[in-house]
Amino acid sequence: MLKSMISAAALAAISLGTASAQTIAVTNGRVVTNSDAGIVESGSVLIQDGFIVAAGANIAIPAGVDTIDANGGWITPGIFHPHTQLGLIEVGLESTTSDVSAPGASFTAAIDVADGFNPSGGHIPDSRRRGITRFAVFPSTARGVIGGRGALANSSGRPDSLFDDRTFLYIDLSQSGAQTAGGSRNAAWAYLRAAFEDARFYPGRFMSHHEGDAINRFDAASLVSAVRGEIPIALQVERASDIRRALRFAQQHPSARFILVGAAESWMVADEIAAAGIPVIIDPLRNLPASFDVLAARLDAPARLHAAGVQTAYTTISADLYFNPRLITQHAGNAVANGASWEDAFRAITLTPAEIHGVGERYGALAEGYAGDVVVWDGDPLEVMSAPVAVIIDGENQSLVSRQSRLAERYAEQVPNGHYGYRH
Amino acid sequence: MMAGALAGLAALGLAACNGDAGETGNGNGASAGNGDGLVRFNPDPYPSTYTPFPSEVVLIQGATVFDGIGGEFENYDVLMQDGRIASIGEGLEAPEGATIIDGRGRYVTPGVIDIHSHLGVYPSPGVSAHNDGNEITSPVTAEVWAEHGVWPQDPGFDAALAGGVTTLHVLPGSANLFGGRGVTLRNVPSRTVQGMKFPDAPYTLKMACGENPKRVYGGQGRAPGSRMGNMAGYREAWQRAVEYRRSWQRYWDAGDADATPPTRNLELDTLMGVLEGEILIQMHCYRADEMALVLDMAREFDYRITTFHHAVEAYKIGDLLAEDDVCAAVWADWGGFKMEAYDSINENLALVHAAGACAMIHSDDQLGIQRLNQEVAKALAAGRRLGIEVTDGEAVAWFTSNPARGLGIFDETGSLEAGKRADVVLWSAHPFSSYAVADHVYIDGALMFDRDDPERRTVRDFTLGQPGEGVL
């Protein structure tokens, strides 16, 4: 049954249509809904035309639909990684394979990752096979503190997998941002304030002379949407004092919206962040004073943020953002090992990231009306030994094959002293 | 001048005593001791001053015990006495005055060993002043020693201890063809690196294949600028080492105290130690084809490679590694950061193990070192999904006994066998769970980490008075 469905899904992928008009039932598993229904010990999920129509216990499964038997495993929403560079880099040290930043470029806010994003990026299939169905795509900064605009994608590999672009603006005001601003945080903030003013008074300011104080006309036109709060600013800050500075800046610019990224010392100012209603994307594994920016990094920071009521999602910045976003479930598991509740930690890699990126009503939960992004696991998804046995995106069953899985299978049967090393 | 300085060392009684060293042309220069008036060198001028912390008699009762060499025993006891493993077994009797630990529902493994760390030489904070892990000034720097760059105040040691790491091997980086000597450390607080040195652990030599040396030096318009240049650079150095060794051998064999000894060369001392089999090669190599070339080179110059590190493509040549009895130290899932890491697969460790070669996990990372048990779990799970049958007990060897073998210290640690150093971790849950944390970590029977006792925790000087003081 499963097998026939996989080939059907493969055919559907070739047709490049929108989500196929089929019905899939995922049955007989522990259903984590991320909704008021909570965790249903034995239940099913029904997906029709790409959307979830029912999830929970005692769901009526229409006769004759394609069914995936979870076999007592776990059925969850797809993992939503809020902070990746998937589809932008193939090999970190080969600059020709990377579109995350452009040290020689003259643009900042005008940069749009959608232009460089490759849905067939080499590391997307392995992220998919680990249960990541949705992810945010971030640029890096190179010159000036503004990296450009990010986008949201699914991991299907389909040409239309980038489903929303220009959804946030990435700005770096950590110590690395200070370096791109010329060498100090003071300069970085001055640059940002000037860029904000340029954008606020765009286009008037650019009428008489071509350039703004900090940015050019084209960048200002792009920065406007962030200044007005139409899209949030994903602001990388780590140090508690920088976070406080950011909170003050947010207060001074009430129309703009912010997401704090990195935020290693955010636990020290958790109450202030919660009061400001600003979400945080943090890596649960950072716990060393790796720089003077993160002297107070600690493993129970996520637990402390949750306890303070901060809207908190997790990232894999310590592992990297292009090859190992797939480790996000391990990162969440370690948050649990260090005091976070399982529910908070799981939400921090599913529904909360979707909410932070403004799509929490479409992704991250198993409830009626949500996109049909479902993962079936052979165990607790936050356990390092667990893995997906089925991944469904927009109601379509996905391939769990990647270049890595092909290599592993190729060499699984060694032929000693053979020409190839594997059976050829 | 040089000879005079060395004679001075001998006069101060610093030379180790090894009577037959002269006959074997011992390593980087033999010691004095046979009164023949010949110039010899002290192979251990910065000796270990490590002494175990105070320990008690400890009996862990009723735990699931992994012995590190394949065994898994339910409802087992572990008895530590005088800093050593006294015994493991069912229903052991508690000696008088023993501290009894309830191990029910918990798990015991040998202490975690990381064969590839840069703690201390790339410490936290990672500021430019702390870049002490790579002598990026010449492609051959076999004369530098990692222990001369280790900062014992690195807070990373404490975090690694909380992850169960009792022994770690600190290596120079991979910028050079010959990066220098590595050092094996006990993970204990100390003002000096000598106070951390694992007593009598063999020295190692870090060598590096592939992209790093050619990028670093090729980028400066110097050799090596290619993989060809890498091989030429190694071979040229090995040939010099062969000739250096021959000249010392000739001098010692002649036994003429009036003869002028060869000029000492610190770089070639280390290479000579490898040729003598006393210094273990730890070779950074990613690609299968390069590892095969390096194995040929070892045959050409008649030395042994102990372990290939970062062996991302080891799974392609598991049979060759098994044949040559060379270990592979690998990651569970790092890759993609350069071309030679492009073929990284999660099944690597399990595939190498299945091919009959000695395989192990390693971190090369100050965060990864804190959860090598989880790294092994990921590699094990991936291997099983591919159909490779490995028991949990066998996989525990990947972070305990196999790295001990790769470091030449398996006689002393790496397994829970009577008489060995009592390096023990008591885990809160199965060590292959994301949720498991180390409850107790013992080094030589001394309780060095207790999750419930923050008072026992070391606060390194750097974090004292900082926002991060005492947190992990």
**84-103 of A, contacting B, C-beta below 8 A:** 89-94
**What CATH number has the domain bearing residue A245?**
3.20.20.140
- A53 at interface of B, judged by CB pairs closer than 8 A: no
**What CATH number has the domain bearing residue A24?**
2.30.40.10
CA distance readout (Å), A28 to A74, A89, A325, A347 = 9, 38, 29, 22
**Domain identity same for A190 and A209:** yes
Interchain pair B385, A383: CB under 8 A: no
Residue type, A402: S
Query: Does an H or E element contain B359, and which?
Result: strand B359-361
Interchain pair A295, B344: CB under 8 A: no
B269 in any annotated domain: yes
B48 in any annotated domain: no
**Domain identity same for A202 and A229:** yes
Interchain pair B126, A407: CB under 8 A: no
Interchain pair A383, B434: CB under 8 A: yes
pTM score > 0.90 for this model? yes
Burial label, A337 (beta-carbon count in 10 A; 0-12, 13-18, 19+): buried
A424 in any annotated domain: no
B327 in any annotated domain: yes
* Adjacent-strand bridge partners of A390: A376
Examine the pLDDT at B104 and tell me if it is beyond 70. yes
**Angstrom distance (rounded) from CA B441 to CA A295:** 25
**Mean pLDDT over each residue of chain B, to the nearest integer:** 93
Burial label, B153 (beta-carbon count in 10 A; 0-12, 13-18, 19+): middle
| Tens of pLDDT, residues B342-395 | 999 999 999 999 999 999 999 999 999 999 999 999 999 999 999 999 999 999
- For residue B375, the chain A residue with the least C-alpha distance is A384
- Residues of A whose CB is below 8 A from B335: 323
B92 in any annotated domain: no
Residue type, A418: G
Domain finish residue from A339, A359, A379: A359
**What CATH number has the domain bearing residue B313?**
3.20.20.140
- The Cα of B36 is separated from the nearest Cα of chain A by a number of Å equal to 52
Please give the DSSP secondary-structure letter assigned to residue A228: T
- For residue B160, the chain A residue with the least C-alpha distance is A288
* Adjacent-strand bridge partners of B305: B281
**Angstrom distance (rounded) from CA B158 to CA B51:** 18
Burial label, A273 (beta-carbon count in 10 A; 0-12, 13-18, 19+): buried
- Residues of B whose CB is below 8 A from A318: 367
Residues 6+ apart with CB under 8 A from B261: B3, B38, B39, B248, B251
Of B33, B30, B83, B463, residue with least CA distance to A290: B463
Total domains in chain A come to 2
Residues 6+ apart with CB under 8 A from A85: A100, A137, A138, A139, A140, A321, A322
**Domain identity same for A50 and A99:** no
Task: Give residue A17's Cα distance to chain centre.
Answer: 25
Interchain pair A326, B333: CB under 8 A: yes
| Tens of pLDDT, residues B411-450 | 999 999 999 999 999 999 999 999 999 999 999 999 999 9
A55 in any annotated domain: yes
Of A172, A145, A147, A134, residue with least CA distance to A357: A134
- A399 at interface of B, judged by CB pairs closer than 8 A: no
**Domain identity same for A226 and A332:** yes
B39 in any annotated domain: no
**Domain identity same for A271 and A299:** yes
Domain finish residue from A359, A381, A396: A359
**Domain identity same for A400 and A267:** no
| Tens of pLDDT, residues B139-176 | 999 999 999 999 999 999 999 999 999 999 999 999 99
Total domains in chain B come to 1
B422 in any annotated domain: no
Interchain pair B377, A384: CB under 8 A: yes
B317: containing domain? 111-413
- The Cα of A55 is separated from the nearest Cα of chain B by a number of Å equal to 28
Of A221, A236, A231, A276, residue with least CA distance to A257: A231
**323-352 of B, contacting A, C-beta below 8 A:** 333-339, 342-347, 351
Interchain pair B471, A287: CB under 8 A: yes
B311 in any annotated domain: yes
Q: Are A242 and A269 in contact (CB under 8 A)?
A: no
Three-state secondary structure string covering A53-75: EEEECCCCCCCCCEEEECCCCEE
Domain finish residue from A318, A334, A359: A359
Which residue in the set B124, B347, B377 is minimally distant from A408, CB to CB?
A: B347
- Residues of B whose CB is below 8 A from A400: none
Which residue in the set A286, A288, A297 is minimally distant from B156, CB to CB?
A: A288
- Residues of B whose CB is below 8 A from A327: 333
- Do the bridges between strand B84-89 and strand A396-397 make them parallel or antiparallel, or are there none, so unpaired? unpaired
- By three-state DSSP, how is residue A350 classified? coil
φ, ψ of residue A32 in degrees (nearest 5): -100, 110
- A413 at interface of B, judged by CB pairs closer than 8 A: no
pLDDT tens for chain A, residues 1 to 424: 333 333 444 434 333 334 445 899 999 999 999 999 999 999 999 999 999 999 999 999 999 999 999 999 999 999 999 999 999 999 999 999 999 998 899 999 999 999 999 999 999 999 999 999 999 999 999 988 999 999 999 999 999 999 999 999 999 999 999 999 999 999 999 999 999 999 999 999 898 777 899 999 999 999 999 999 999 999 999 999 999 999 999 999 999 999 999 999 999 999 999 999 999 999 999 999 999 999 999 999 999 999 999 999 999 999 999 999 999 999 999 999 999 999 999 999 999 999 999 999 999 999 999 999 999 999 999 999 999 999 999 999 999 999 999 999 999 987 766 788 787 7
**Buried/exposed code over A29-54 (b: 16+ C-beta within 10 A; e: otherwise):** bbbbbbbebeebeebbbbbbebbbbb
**Domain identity same for A297 and A220:** yes
Please give the DSSP secondary-structure letter assigned to residue B450: E
Interchain pair A408, B382: CB under 8 A: yes
- The Cα of A16 is separated from the nearest Cα of chain B by a number of Å equal to 29
ipTM: 0.93
In this prediction, residue A328 carries a pLDDT of 98
Of A138, A163, A89, A134, residue with least CA distance to A398: A134
Interchain pair B318, A285: CB under 8 A: no
**Angstrom distance (rounded) from CA A327 to CA A86:** 13
Furthest-apart CA pair in chain A: how many Å?
75
Query: Which region holds residue B180: left if phi is over 0, alpha if psi is between -120 and 50, else beta?
Result: left
For chains A and B, CB pairs below 8 A equal: 149
- Residues of B whose CB is below 8 A from A416: 319
- A288 at interface of B, judged by CB pairs closer than 8 A: yes
- A241 at interface of B, judged by CB pairs closer than 8 A: no
Helix B372-385 and helix A328-337, axial crossing angle in degrees, nearest 10: 130
- Which of B434, B437, B460 is the best residue to mutate to test the A interface, defined by the most A CB atoms within 10 Å of its own CB? B434
**Domain identity same for A252 and A384:** no
**298-327 of B, contacting A, C-beta below 8 A:** 315-319
A283: containing domain? 79-359
- The Cα of A127 is separated from the nearest Cα of chain B by a number of Å equal to 12
- B470 at interface of A, judged by CB pairs closer than 8 A: no
A4 in any annotated domain: no
Place of tokens 């073998």: B405
Of B456, B444, B446, residue with least CA distance to B409: B444
**Angstrom distance (rounded) from CA A27 to CA B339:** 42
- A292 at interface of B, judged by CB pairs closer than 8 A: yes
